[in-house]
Amino acid sequence: MAQPDGRLTTDLDPQERAPQDACGVFGVWAPGEEVSKLTYFGLYALQHRGQESAGIALSDGERILVYKDMGLVSQVFNEATLDSLQGHLAIGHCRYSTTGSPVWENAQPTFYSAREGGLALGHNGNLINTPELARMLPDERRGATTDTEVLTGLLADNPDRSTEEAAMELLPKVRGAYSLAFMDETTLYAARDPQGIRPFVLGRLENGWAVASETAALDIVGATYEREIEPGELITVDERGVRSMRFAPAEPKGCLFEYVYLARPDTTIAGRNVNSSRAEVGRRLAKQHPADADLVIPVPESGTPAAVGYADGSGIPFAQGLVKNSYVGRTFIQPSQTLRQLGIRLKLNPLREVIAGRRLVVVDDSIVRGNTQRALVRMLREAGAAEVHVRISSPPVMWPCYYGVDFATKAELAAGNLTTEEIRASIGADSLAFIDLDELVEATEVPKNRLCRACFDGVYPIEVDEDSRGKYLLETSGGNATERPLAGRAQR
């Protein structure tokens, strides 16, 4: 499974999943443009944020058509499909499930009939008062199995209000992380939670406007970055241009883990380029936790910027000691037990002539359960490494995320249960060190009080009720994924 920067995971090792983000969202209003293709390439740039399913909702001004399916963006759409999606307005979504099962019925954008037309919505993040919101749905809307579907149903269930009015009434009641791109037949809408936990930006096209989870998606479609969508802001885009409304005061708490792992390195968040931030973390890591070694090698690709920074800060030469297989994607073929044990070799293979006899500093972005690092250290030793010193460009991940990143539970997190020395012994490294939280924060150039650091320090900016926890919350509380209005490939 391709991850940010091309980092790869597969389904071979169920005991070790990299942290997954909730989704990528994209929206465009551009009369005269091929908006289906703009949306396709916007989603292609955001593929790292979700690989389970992809979809596009598009309007020609009279009706909304939704096309979505399981798989990567390039697998769901082809030239003929995109050519058949004609209109001036579209939203797109690529999904990794953090609420609801990874099934076709839960793919996004979601769609409901609304007033005299329809409403489609894509969501990045996780809500934390979903049961409360679900109880607000009318009986005929009950059975939603994702927080996104609950939001869509509530926005659509306002026959006497415009979409804009419905959103301004509903959004102040919604708690949690949400970057939303939604649409009716004529207007593109974008909204961001008051904490601004997930990134969300606005860009200008020659003949219109675009919104996206990351600036890299704007770059890909040729849009000029205008600004971030502000926390607590709703914007609308139609023939009158862009209008902004505030539904809640801004209380910025952007996700710190976006800088560590989730975002693309060519993305800019809060004015700070992600690649520059990661390289600075590496330099700080070298000063804080030096090692007597011959080479610095990254775990490609998400560990590469920090490894470059570590080499720069330490004076130890940088080398590519691991080769990544760029063509390993998600696989549904179950391997034999022997191949399962060697699963990491599908993703990474050591360059023996670089590694043999050398003392290595291996730089990675984070440790979740530790199984990947354990296999990696073993593989490097088998390739002849004299010493393996692991350096991690984030603090220990000790707490789960409830705002749109699918971390393991605290009981499964290595750092949630073991000391650094115990983790070192578990993975078999000669030494192990993590960057300090304050050093990481300083590398982002964002004030600490404007960042969500919960996965590192357990301080959650939005209190999470016990009743609102759990990926399958709605499915286990009576949600029914088999009777749902216009799910999947839907046309009003």
Q: Answer whether 51's CB lies under 8 Å from 72's CB.
A: yes
φ and ψ at residue 226, rounded to 5 degrees: -100, -55
Query: Residue type for 121, please?
Result: L
Positive or negative: CA dihedral 358, 424, 431, 306: positive
How far lies 4's CA from each of 82, 139, 261, 380, in Å? 25, 40, 7, 23
Read off the tokens for 307. Answer: 């490894």
Catalytic: which of 12, 18, 22, 23? 23
**23 catalytic residue (yes or no):** yes
Q: Answer whether 176's CB lies under 8 Å from 126's CB.
A: yes
Is 292 annotated in some ligand binding site?
no
Is 365 annotated in some ligand binding site?
yes
Largest CA distance in the chain: 74
- DSSP, res 343: G
Is 94 annotated in some ligand binding site?
no
Is 147 annotated in some ligand binding site?
no
Query: Residue type for 312, please?
Result: D
DSSP helix/strand/coil, 30: coil
Positive or negative: CA dihedral 18, 195, 225, 87: positive
- DSSP, res 124: E
Which runs of consecutive H residues, i.e. helices, occur in 343-436? 352-355, 371-382, 414-417, 420-427
Is 302 annotated in some ligand binding site?
yes
Is 364 annotated in some ligand binding site?
yes
Q: Where are the beta strands (DSSP E) in 197-321?
A: 201-205, 208-212, 224-228, 233-238, 241-246, 254-255, 268-269, 272-273, 295-298
Rounded-to-integer distance, Cα 33 and Cα 58, Å: 12
Q: Answer whether 108's CB lies under 8 Å from 55's CB.
A: yes
Read off the tokens for 237. Answer: 């885009």
Rounded-to-integer distance, Cα 349 and Cα 360, Å: 15
Rounded-to-integer distance, Cα 445 and Cα 415, Å: 26
User: Which helix (H) or strand (E) segment is 123 a member of?
Assistant: strand 117-124
Is 455 annotated in some ligand binding site?
yes
Burial label, 70 (beta-carbon count in 10 A; 0-12, 13-18, 19+): middle
Rounded-to-integer distance, Cα 180 and Cα 171, Å: 11
Query: Residue type for 210, please?
Result: A
Name the binding residues for [4Fe-4S] cluster: 255, 401, 452, 455
Task: Detail the residues annotated as belonging to a binding site.
Answer: 255, 302, 364-365, 401, 452, 455
Residues forming the active site: 23
Q: Which residues are annotated as a binding site for Mg(2+)?
A: 302, 364-365
